[in-house]
Amino acid sequence: MSESSPSQAPNKKERSLLERLSWLLLREPEDREQLFEMLHQAHERNLLDADALSMIEGVMQVSELSARDIMVPRAQMDAINAEDSIDQIVAFAVEKAHSRFPVYDGERDNVIGVLLAKDLLRIHADAEVKLRDMLRPAVFIPESKRLNVLLHDFRLNRNHIALVVDEYGGVAGLVTIEDVLEQIVGDIEDEYDFDDDADNIVSMENAQAGLYRVKALTTIEQFNEAFGTAFSNEHADTVGGLLTDHLAHVPSRGEVIELFPMRFEILRADARLVHLLKVQRMEPDADDNNSGNSTQSLDTDRHS
């Protein structure tokens, strides 16, 4: 019995993913469009699954994006004032639940360092520790910095956050390593995520405050039924669409929208879509109930 020739092509089932891709890409693509087309052909032939295709496209597109494209704008940054008391800083860190905070002195453009939330634990061991003693150096980058270069710098310097500055040296926003990775792998789950199979409206731990996590794809009809509201679904079918229509732009993470009688805070969103909301019922002023009711009417009329 003759042995198989080493040059013979391996059985399709035995080929590794890399080998199968090399067989597909024997003809060199002439441009990026042809390369994307070939990758989609690989997906159609089950050589690439949807997740792998999405990540490869993300890697290729990251080099075309800059820090300004994904940064959290300055107005939405959760930053700490160095002049605040330790009690205020701890309370702020607990409320915002980030692992890192830029710290400024006087003006928000004057960032003096980055505070790691875990470093606040040192206060319990040594009451004499000062905030400025706990700060890590801040990294500043231009708005035009490419994300592939930024990701390399993050990995090389073991840094997780960078302050984005404009042409005048003012702070324009911030970017984290998670923001960059999400451009490649999609949204990274955090403490605000829950399963796709879970209910669209979930009570948060602080139930006494009436806080709820709501998926942005929750229908307005379901939302109205759950909260006893009367938002119109004429121009949008979902709660995320309702907020986008009201603002005339896609809300960003951290943005707060008040549509009486509800207060919405964006927990997760990307450039195209809102994903997750924190919702709380607003308390009308005792002597201004009529005004509050008219506010709801105006908000409802806006979408009617």
* Nearby residues of 290 by Cβ (< 8 Å), 6 or more positions away: none
pLDDT tier for residue 222 given thresholds of 50, 70 and 90: very high
pLDDT, tens digit, for every residue of 95-109? 888 899 999 998 989
- Of 204-208, 273-277, 296-300, the poorest mean pLDDT is in 296-300
Q: CB–CB of 218/238 below 8 Å?
A: yes
pTM for the model: 0.54
* Nearby residues of 286 by Cβ (< 8 Å), 6 or more positions away: none
Entry field: residues in the chain: 304
pLDDT, tens digit, for every residue of 66-105? 898 888 888 888 999 999 988 899 888 888 888 999 999 9
